[in-house]
Structure 1
């Protein structure tokens, strides 16, 4: 009889009835249940064990301040003081209610919110950058949570070509996810214009066709009189290869070191010659992308 009394006392179950509603208070639980970080429904197993297995199917509905509500067709659970955005041990209160009978059961339990899920990496499979461009993978990657991102290989943008490397993302809990990415290093936008001009050396054409064909290499479709090319960008006193040299009655492509590719010379040929020519220079146009 003594053992029976002790067993009943250890349950610490108290019942009270009012307006047809029965409330059952369960003893405080010392076990720390595991709950997944930022996953509201991962607490369902606690409802099943502490309230009744019938509460296993309730789903998260809403949260107001420190109270979260879970519901199914016939059951409702109210959780107080659970913060799934905070990793660590927490003491919470849960109250289960049968919607049909209005019977309730309460429990105070310990949970441990833990982050075991690796961060989700969002990034294109292939990234294209210009030669000599400063490259930071963080500008191309986003994570679904706070964390750090790095590459397992250094990307050398001084050389044109492609390199396949691996993005490694680590969250605050130490979970790691990886994603392969290809980095394509292409020639600089303006260098591509200059290279296209050089590729035309020896071709019979006038100066405007030289410039038009050079600009086509970067997707710019334009043709007009020499001074019309002034509309394609801003005038600059510090030209770089690929800028347009606009003269009175002439136009060319600057290739650096005081030289330019000219069309329409020596029997309408395309040739490399000094920027300084018989036609007065109006200015250098840095093409707008």
Structure 2
């Protein structure tokens, strides 16, 4: 606005700074000069006709004019997003789920996130508003093994440990923050039965429980003198079903 004041009023008004706004009047001041701008809506982009009145605070000399001004949006959108995002392996990744903007705009990534492999990806969010203003934010995306695979991996990590079958499953579930221990049948309460098991599902039998790891195999505790070992899902215990644990 200072350039408008200089051109339309006098060059002496070049140093005034925005002071306040009351209703439809914006006030700009310096030590010696004051300008009032009427009917300027800075939130509306486009051409507007406004009235400006300048005053010398020492002499009360005044200058006024009615001018056409063009309001432009030159402010980049503000990106709100965590610095680090954690997702599971093979999860469909959509950055829009994690980002919000303070205005309408589009969000893209400078480098796409491939979740087929675990690891860490460093990328940047680029946000662009309707006026073409762009802002960026660097983020880190951690791709971790999925919930059920972490249970299966925890079971495999116990191969050779001397313990009974329930402790094997309890220790495996602890890897994903589930604290539960009980008789074999009690593990039926942790989720629905499924006919399409995935690694990390619980195999429940009459009087026995194990952890499915895929390809028809499970980790069993309490075998061969209470050892933990890999063996077929089909064993000498009557099978009840696979439990897909609730997350």
TM-score by length of 1: 0.71
Cα contact 2:18–2:26 (8 A) shared by 1: no
Whole-angstrom distance in 1 between the partners of 2:90 and 2:18: 57
- What's the counterpart of residue 79 of structure 2? 121
Q: CA deviation at 1:193?
A: 0.3
1:60 counterpart = 2:21: yes
**Aligned residue pairs: how many?**
236
Q: CA deviation at 1:44?
A: 7.8
Secondary structure of the equivalent of 2:149? helix
Q: CA deviation at 1:214?
A: 0.4
Secondary structure of the equivalent of 2:87? strand
- What's the counterpart of residue 121 of structure 2? 163
Structure 2 residues not aligned, in runs of 5+: 29-33, 56-61
Q: CA deviation at 1:282?
A: 2.1
Whole-angstrom distance in 2 between the partners of 1:88 and 1:201: 71
Q: CA deviation at 1:96?
A: 8.6
- What's the counterpart of residue 287 of structure 1? 245
Larger radius of gyration between Structure 1 and Structure 2: 1
Structure 1 residues not aligned, in runs of 5+: 1-42, 63-67, 98-103
Residue-by-residue CA offset, 1:189-244 (whole Å, 9 max, x unaligned): 10000011111111111000000110111111111111111222222222111111
Match of 1:139 among 88, 97, 119: 97
Cα contact 1:58–1:76 (8 A) shared by 2: no
Match of 1:233 among 188, 191, 201: 191
- What's the counterpart of residue 148 of structure 2? 190
Q: CA deviation at 1:281?
A: 2.1
Whole-angstrom distance in 2 between the partners of 1:47 and 1:285: 75
Whole-angstrom distance in 1 between the partners of 2:142 and 2:132: 30
Q: What is the RMSD computed on CA atoms of the aligned residues?
A: 2.9
Cα contact 1:44–1:58 (8 A) shared by 2: no
Residue-by-residue CA offset, 1:30-81 (whole Å, 9 max, x unaligned): xxxxxxxxxxxxx68867986896985541245xxxxx34469xx995733x
Secondary structure of the equivalent of 1:287? coil
Whole-angstrom distance in 1 between the partners of 2:5 and 2:194: 71
Secondary structure of the equivalent of 1:119? coil
